Amino acid sequence: MAHEMELTMVKGNEALGEAAIRAGCRFFFGYPITPQSELPAYMSRRMPEVNGTYLQAESEVAAVNMVLGAAAAGVRVMTSSSSPGYSLKQEGISYMIGSQLPAVVVNVMRGGPGLGNIQPAQGDYWQMVKGGGHGDYRMISLAPSTVQELVNLTVQAFELADKYQNPVGILADGLLGQTMEPVRFPEIKEDPGPHTKPWALTGCKGRGKRIHTSLELSPEGLEKHNIKLQAKFKVMEDEVQFEAYKCEDADLIVVAYGTAARVARAAVDAARQLGLNVGLFRPISLWPFPSAALSGLVDRGVTRFLDVEMSAGQMVEDVQLAVLGRAKVDFYGRTGGIVPTPREILNEIQKVMGGEAK
C-alpha cells in the first residue's frame, strides 16, 4: 500500500478496530452491546478483507473463551464489550492470566451498576484495575482520552500482551467510543505468529506436548505458580504511563483519566486564565498506577489534589494511596452517564482553592 498515512475522520470504536488490525490482530470474538457495537460491526466488515476471523459468539462468556482458545494457539486476538458484557468476561480473563495467555480485552464503559444505561461513565475502574475476576492477578490497564490515543494504545496493548503473556485491558468510555476525530493510523504490522511463541499450541507431531491450564490441585504447586506470576507482575509495574500538564508550578493538581481528563484539561486552562496555578495529572496506565510520579509532586510541594471521575470515586483511592496522607485529596464525580462540564470542574477548583489561597 503506497498511500500516505493521512489524517482520516474515524469514530473511536472503529478506530480501535482498525488499530487492532494494524497491530496484526486477525481474530475477533465478541457480542454486541451499546456503546461499543460499532467495534464488532467494523470487525465483521474488515476482518474478511484481511483474511481474518470475525465471530459473533452466542454470549460474552463464549466470546472470551474463544479468545482464550485463539491465544493458546499463539495468534493475536481481541474481544470487546461494554460494562455489563465486560462483567461476563471476567471468568475467562482470570483463566487467561492463570494460563499466561496474551490477549487484548476492551471495555467501553457505560452507566451502571447493573444494566444501568448506555451513556458514558467510569464506574468500572475497580473492576478492570483491581481484578474483576477471581484470584491474585494483575493486568496492565490503559486509559485513552482521545481517538488518536485510543489507536496508539491499542497497538501498544498487543505488544505488551505478547511481552508478558498476559491479557492487557483497554478502558474507554461511551463518549470516546462515539466521538469521531481525525486520526493517523500506523502501517499494518504482521502478527509475529505462533512460531515466535514456544508455548503455542501448533499441533504436537514430532515434539512434546504443550499444556495450558489454570488448574493446579497441589497447594505447593499452585503457590509456586502464584510466586512466578507475582514476579512477572512485579516486572510489569515498570510499564507506567502518564501525562503531566501544567504541573510544574501548580498549587493544585487535578487528577483524572480518559474523558474526564479531557474535560478537566479545559477547566485547568480556564483556571489558568483566572490566574490560578492549576495543573492536570492524567494517568494513562491505570495499572500500573503512576504512584511514584504523584508522590514526586508532593515532594515538590504540592499539597492539594482534586480527583475528578465519571464515577462516585474509585481512582481517588489510588491517588490517596500514592500521596499517603501527605497531601489533601478532594473528589468531584458525576455518575449515571453524566459527563461533567468544564465549568463544573472549574467551580470545584475554585471551591478547593478558595478555602486555602484567599
Partner 1 sequence: MFMHEILIAGFGGQGVLTAGQLLAYAGNFEGKCVSWVPAYGPEQRGGTANCSVVISDQQIACTLVTEPSLCIVMNQPSLEKFEKAVKPGGVLVVNTSLCEKKATRTDITVVNVAATDTAIELGSQKFANMVALGALLGAMPVVDIEMVLKAMLKVMGEDKARFIPANREALKRGMEAAKSAVHA
**Site residues (CB under 8 A) for partner 1?**
7, 9, 34-35, 118-119, 174-175, 178-182, 262-263, 265-266, 269, 339, 341-342
125-146: string of b/e by CB count within 10 Å (b at 16+)? bebbbebbbeeebbbbbbbbbb
Contact (CB, 8 A) for 34 and 46: no
Strands (E), 251-327: 252-255, 278-283, 285-287, 304-309
Q: Rounded to a whole number, what is the distance in angstroms from the first to the last CA of the chain?
A: 61
Measured from the CB atom, is 157 or 263 closer to partner 1? 263
Cβ atoms of 104 and 167 closer than 8 Å: yes
Q: Which is nearer to partner 1, 53 or 347 (CB)?
A: 347
Please report how close the Cβ of residue 249 comes to partner 1 at its closest, in angstroms. Answer: 21
Min separation Cβ 19 and partner 1, Å: 18
Least Å distance, CB 164 to partner 1, is: 32
Got the DSSP string for 148-160? HHHHHHHHHHHHH
In the chain, what are the helix, strand and coil shares in percent, each to the nearest 5? 45, 20, 40
Instruction: Name the residue with cell 505468529.
Output: 193
Radius of gyration of the chain (CA): 21
Question: Which of residues 81 and 119 has its CB atom nearest to partner 1 in the complex?
Answer: 119
The nearer residue to partner 1, 91 or 269, going by C-beta atoms, is 269
Closest approach of partner 1 to the CB of residue 319, in Å = 21
Nearer to partner 1, 55 or 338 (CB): 338
Nearest distance from C-beta of residue 178 to partner 1, angstroms: 5
Q: Which is nearer to partner 1, 269 or 330 (CB)?
A: 269
If the CB atoms of residues 181 and 237 are measured against partner 1, the closer one turns out to be 181
Parallel, antiparallel or unpaired: strands 180-183 and 242-245: unpaired
- Min dist CB 29 to partner 1, Å, is 24
HSE on the CB side for 205, CA within 13 Å? 1
d(CA 68, CA 63): 9
Amino acid letter, 138: R
- The nearest distance, CB 69 to partner 1, in angstroms, is 33
